[in-house]
Structure 1
Amino acid sequence: MSIKPILRKIMAVGLCTAIGFGAISIGQASLLPKASAATVYETKVTSGVNLRASASTSGRVIRLIPTGESIHVISQVNSYWLKVSDKRGNTGYVSANDKYTNHDASSSSGSSSSSSSKTDRVVDIARSYIGRVHYDFGTRNPSKLIFDCSSFTEFVFAKVGVDLKWGTKSQKNQGSYTNKSSLRKGDLVFFDTIGSNNKVINHVGISIGGGQFIHNTPSKDGLAINSLTSGYWSTHYVTARRVL
């Protein structure tokens, strides 16, 4: 009996088996779910807020999202509501009031500000709180918009994803040094308001360009814009840091 027909059968079976397993393997691979990009929870809750099933104050409360938890903003429904997801897998709606989160509406809107640089956004955000913020030394209360100088800068920069520490002693060491002649929008500017400027830093503001800066100050019980090139603040200027 010739062995060739048997070999041909074995080879045929082997080939079919290989093709069969290959088909199964390929078929199984095609059934596997595609990997999805990890969700980035970019927005921090600054004051406990209800996650609701619908964009309405009468919507069912899914849960209370506590202060400090991060969420992902899917979209801004309108000026009152954000559609968000949390780390537990819930999707729902939270108030768009900026006392509840550090979400920057301008970064997700279709306005021209959405395409502007972070430096411009920082200035725009800071300016938007003129007449709304109050000053209280040693206070950081985003829900009531009460800050001291450094908790206000911390609050503003958090809205563009920059983590500043609270306190001028910490902020004066963040980022990189820049000299006064090279200041640009968004730079932190520091001052000594004690006596005759012994370079003891105790106040901070944000450069807004044009030789000016914006800061939260007790003399105004809120935000003020002052000159860096003349007057009191120019003589009490100490240094600047670039964090953007």
Structure 2
Amino acid sequence: MKKRMATATLTAALLFSSLSVPAALAAQTTQAAEVQSSVNMRTSPSTSASIIRSLKKGEQITVMDKVNSYWYKVADSSGKQGYISTSSQYIELQASVPAQDGNAVALSSVSFRKAASTSGERIRYLKKGEQVTIVAKTNSYWYEVKDGNGVRGYVSTDSSYLKVTGTIPGGNTGGNTGGNGGGTVTNPDVSKDKQVEKIIAAGMKYLGTPYEYSSDRNTTTTFDCSDFVRQAFLDGVSLKLPADSRQQGQYVKDKGSITTNWKQLKRGDIVFFMSYKGTKASAYNGIDKSKATITHDGIYLGDGKVLHTYSKEGGGVTVSSIEGTHWEYRILFGGSAL
């Protein structure tokens, strides 16, 4: 009798322990994971569903939900969502860390990178309102931070991206939202010239990337004009501009320093254009450019050159000369977004 009771007790204990792990996992809303070998991310949990793209070995992703025994719903570092196999051959779940209050909060979407550099591989974007823990201030430009899943990476120290809400190891504290006193962490200004060069370098690496009208803002496989400008600023200095050229134009105007004379533009300025009317200057006579609609923009390189993308026929991201071309006649204004 005692033997049967002991056996029943052991069986119940084993059954409970086997159920407790999935229950704990089910309670988590998201979990970090690493791709172990190339695997297809699909539009729905089925092998017959369309392939969004192939995830690469070593890629960091977020598991959002376990749909069933065979499929996870995941998000890649750009935020694109899809479904992949649950097989451990393809994905390894990383140890989850209970959510913490942290000592900082993201004020806007910002790149979370593997290295303290704008060329460092992006793990993902931190979302506005996301709580993180600043582990250390690496230098004047970068924090080492830990997200709610325990994943470590680097984020810009620019105060427009992170608000420090607690103590940072090393003695810095947060809590103030303005002024120069108290515990506000202030960062030395990065030279504007250095920022400009970072933006241009980020844009130049996309030379030849195909043009696509109304391109997907979550990928870098194709660009339209404003998507390209936005990505160059995002990659270069972690500045997230508005999504379209008209909003970008207003953003630059709000900065308070624009010019309608392209020869007064500075390297790194964003330059805005009206619609194409023809190749001759006379085609634009009589147009009130102060009321014309922005239809295109690009990054001014200096020496009468603009870095931009405007059509498939134009070869995607390219460098064009302004003077004596329709680009000169179409210019509305330009200015700095920094």
Aligned match of 1:157: 233
- Which whole-Å deviations, capped at 9, do the CAs of 1:91-118 have from their partners, x for residues lacking one? 268xxxxxxxxxxxxxxxxxxxxx9711
Aligned match of 2:212: 136
Aligned match of 2:257: 177
Equivalent runs, 1:171-210 vs 2, <5 Å: 171-175=248-252, 176-179=256-259, 180-195=262-277, 196-197=283-284, 198=287, 199=289, 200=292, 201-210=294-303
CA distance in 1, matches of 2:62, 2:310: 40
Aligned match of 2:335: 241
Shift of 1:230: 2.3
Q: Which has the higher contact order (CA 8 A, sep 6+)?
A: 1
**Does the C-alpha gap of structure 1 residues 238 and 167 become closer, same or farther in structure 2, counting only changes over 3 Å?**
same
| Root mean square deviation, CA, Å | 3.8
SS in 2 for 1:90: coil
Shift of 1:182: 2.4
CA distance in 2, matches of 1:233, 1:193: 10
Q: Percent identity?
A: 19
Paired residue total:
174
The normalised TM-score by structure 2 is 0.43
CA distance in 1, matches of 2:59, 2:308: 39
SS in 1 for 2:243: coil
SS in 2 for 1:117: helix
What amino acid does structure 1 have at the position aligned with 2:276? Answer: I
Structure 2 unaligned blocks of 5 or more: 1-31, 37-55, 64-73, 80-108, 124-143, 154-191, 278-282
Query: Whose Rg is larger?
Result: 1
Shift of 1:213: 0.7
**Does the C-alpha gap of structure 1 residues 212 and 57 become closer, same or farther in structure 2, counting only changes over 3 Å?**
same
Judging by fraction of residues, say which structure has more helix.
1
The normalised TM-score by structure 1 is 0.58
Aligned match of 1:213: 306
Shift of 1:206: 0.4
Structure 1 unaligned blocks of 5 or more: 1-49, 94-114
SS in 1 for 2:200: helix
Which among 32, 46, 52 is matched to residue 34 of structure 2?
Answer: 52
Quick check: 1:73–1:85 contact (8 Å CA) kept in 2? no
CA distance in 2, matches of 1:236, 1:59: 43
- Which whole-Å deviations, capped at 9, do the CAs of 1:114-170 have from their partners, x for residues lacking one? x97111111111111112x11111223443521211111111111212221111211
